[in-house]
A and B are shown apart, each in its own frame.
Chain A
Amino acid sequence: MNDSDIKDWDIAKKEIADIGNWKGMFEWVEEPHVSPDGEKIAAVVKTGDMEFGVCENGTPWESVFDKVWYLRFSPDGRLTALVSDAGEWTVAVDGQTWESRFEFVWNTKFSRDGSGIAVAAQNGRQYFAAVNDSPWEQTFSDMSNLTLSPDGKSSAASVQTVAFGESDIFKFQEGCYSAALDGKAWDMNFVNVWEMSFSPDHQHLAAEVRLNLYDYTVAVDGIPWEQKFSSVWKPEFSPQDGSVTAPARIGGGWTLVRNGTPLWNSRFVQLWHHRYSPDGKKIAAVVSPHFGRWTVAIDGTAWTHNFGDLVTDLVFSPDGNRIACVGKDDGKWTVSVDGQPWTGGFDMIWRPVFSPDGRRVAAKAEKNGRYTVVIDGQPLKEEFRAVWDPVFSPDGEKILICGIEGSGEKYFRQVMRLADI
């Protein structure tokens, strides 16, 4: 959700729905989901015997189904679900099903702006992707790692391209997998193809591959790098020059390599989930500088402060000058911003969110079974039964908090002035 898409920054507090009422309407109500602008709340509901529907802001979808699952709002606020009727599966968007029907459908993916909706699908034991109701023309005997380009214009996945008997270990080792871009498989086969990334213009695709049981590298548009490594993790394209970087294991340690050659001088015990700053000038990654310790490294230099349990959910501020991540130490979760952890641990904390100017950071958190939003390390006074990720206003003055308050089940959308908190 782009914060500038939220129109309504002036209403202080608004009750959107009372889930408690829904429980009288349906046999059961599953866990609710909230639209990015906070204006809508929806849940899968049991409408009758072997019959399920979706309730959005108190109004059920007209259609009901045998099964409904994976209810998710797209970044542009459309409500999607995977539904089945009479043994056939499809995607429902705002209550309308796609025309395509599948034997099974799963793994919904959205483009950054929500205009693209992709799913993995299976018909007649053949696998393919479908984007905005258009299935790939080619199908495969297996498929995984479905990936949608950030603009939603292309989709890709790891696919099985050569048939083999499961016990035929030597055939498998010759390479029976490849990546398919918009349904067309690369020419070259690999032993394995795992996670992949699109270039920002969706023209190029890079994937982690295993050439045999021992040599790992990155293949870009089907061509593997000449350099081989004992392992690699997911590659990313530079937004600046289209080069490809990936964490690679060299001589027992991990570093970041670009187009096959080491980019960082430093070696880490672990290095993964590298991200480019929005302008592409900086690269940050989750790293383990010493065995059992975790932190973030920016352009090869690790923060001094580190965590014992884990580091995850690394995010750049929109201007690229700040970095936040989630870290856990001795079982307590917190957020670290530019290497400075928030004090006070939580039972769980969600991916931090930056204000557009990068000055403020907020995150959803849980403590003792209650939820709240933590802003720059300070939890809100209000506690919630449920809360969703906060959103800062474009001017950075306000924050949108969406949650179910107190002991009731009323869902509120609330805009707070940061100065008042």
Chain B
Amino acid sequence: MHTLYNLVSGPLVWLSFLIFIGGSVFRITTMIRLAKEKDTAVFEYMNFYYASRSIVHWIVPFGSENMKKHPAMTVVTFAFHICLICLPLFVFAHVILWKESWNISWWYLSDSVADLMTLTVIGSCIFFLVRRLTVPEVKYLTSNSDFVILALVAAPFVTGFWAYHQLPAYRLMGILHILSGEIMLAAIPFTRLSHALFFLFTRGYMGSEFGAVKNAKDW
């Protein structure tokens, strides 16, 4: 188990970051290159002001009409994304790792807040799962891959919570926590999790088209 721990906490960390960063750069640059070749007009209509205007409306809770129509979904989505991004960056255990490896450190979350945020992510994943299983228009669109992605996202948080609270087999869970986190990170550029990379582009483009050309709001 020790060897396994060394593997996941050593080379695989490097590998996952490499895949995540390299993959993201690769995906974005290939898409930009492809767009330049095939969708040249897209660049012509991109407009920084209107792209930002749209993006801002969509990253502010209840900034769009549709968010107002689905308050529960809006609250869960924002809570989920905020926790999903902040937790790995500011959880004490991770900050310590950065300190040990690179001698850099920053502000970290208290354990109770971290716990709450973890449960928020897990709870959100359950909410998404229930939504996928019960809301007809979501169920209709759902394929197996959606469950896999949901599991992929939930896994590091479930295992992290498990390991931190030293529940049975917590050592194994610790390894699985690291591993699942690495898998999720590496999966971002190559699965639908890439919406994290492309959100700015798709929203920005629609914001530009609506704002600069069509003189209309898109939220």
Contacts and interface: CB of A to CB of B under 8 A. Distances in A.
A and B in direct contact, judged by CB atoms within 8 A: yes
Q: Chain B's interface: helix, strand, loop or mixed, by majority?
A: helix
SS class of chain A's interface: helix, strand, loop or mixed?
A: loop
A21 B3 CA distance: 107
B35 to A, nearest CB: 12
Interface residues of A, number: 4
Interface residues of B, number: 3
B41 interface: yes
B82 to A, nearest CB: 39
A290 interface: yes
Contacts of B41: 291-292
Interface in A279-335: 290-292
A291 B44 CA distance: 8
Contacts of A290: 40
B198 to A, nearest CB: 22
Contacts of A291: 40-41, 44
A292 B213 CA distance: 14
Contacts of A292: 41, 44
Nearest to B43: A291
A292 B41 CA distance: 8
Nearest to A252: B38
Looking at A269, A290, A291, the one whose CB has the most chain B CB atoms below 10 A away is: A291
A110 B40 CA distance: 42
Interface in B9-41: 40-41
A291 B41 CA distance: 7
Contacts of B44: 291-292
A214 to B, nearest CB: 20
Nearest to A292: B44
A292 B40 CA distance: 10
Interface string A263-280: 000000100000000000
A292 B44 CA distance: 8
Nearest to B39: A291
Nearest to B41: A291
A224 B13 CA distance: 65
Nearest to A291: B40
Contacts of A269: 40
A291 B45 CA distance: 11
A149 to B, nearest CB: 40
Interface in B34-69: 40-41, 44
A407 to B, nearest CB: 40
A377 to B, nearest CB: 30
Nearest to A290: B40
B208 to A, nearest CB: 14
Contacts of B40: 269, 290-291
A137 B150 CA distance: 77
B32 to A, nearest CB: 16
Interface string A246-269: 000000000000000000000001
Interface string A139-164: 00000000000000000000000000
A254 to B, nearest CB: 14
A326 B40 CA distance: 26
A290 B41 CA distance: 10
A269 B40 CA distance: 10
Nearest to A269: B40
A289 to B, nearest CB: 12
B44 to A, nearest CB: 5
Nearest to B45: A292
A27 B192 CA distance: 74
Nearest to B40: A291
B178 to A, nearest CB: 48
A158 B41 CA distance: 35
A138 B40 CA distance: 49
A253 to B, nearest CB: 11
A291 B42 CA distance: 10
Nearest to A293: B44
A291 B40 CA distance: 7
B34 to A, nearest CB: 14
A318 to B, nearest CB: 38
A292 B42 CA distance: 12
A142 B41 CA distance: 39
Interface in A146-194: none
A269 B38 CA distance: 12
A292 B43 CA distance: 11
A65 B44 CA distance: 54
Interface string A334-369: 000000000000000000000000000000000000
Interface of B: 40-41, 44
Interface of A: 269, 290-292
7 contacts: A269-B40, A290-B40, A291-B40, A291-B41, A291-B44, A292-B41, A292-B44
The 4 A-B residue pairs with the shortest CB-CB distance, nearest first, are A291-B40, A292-B44, A291-B41, A291-B44
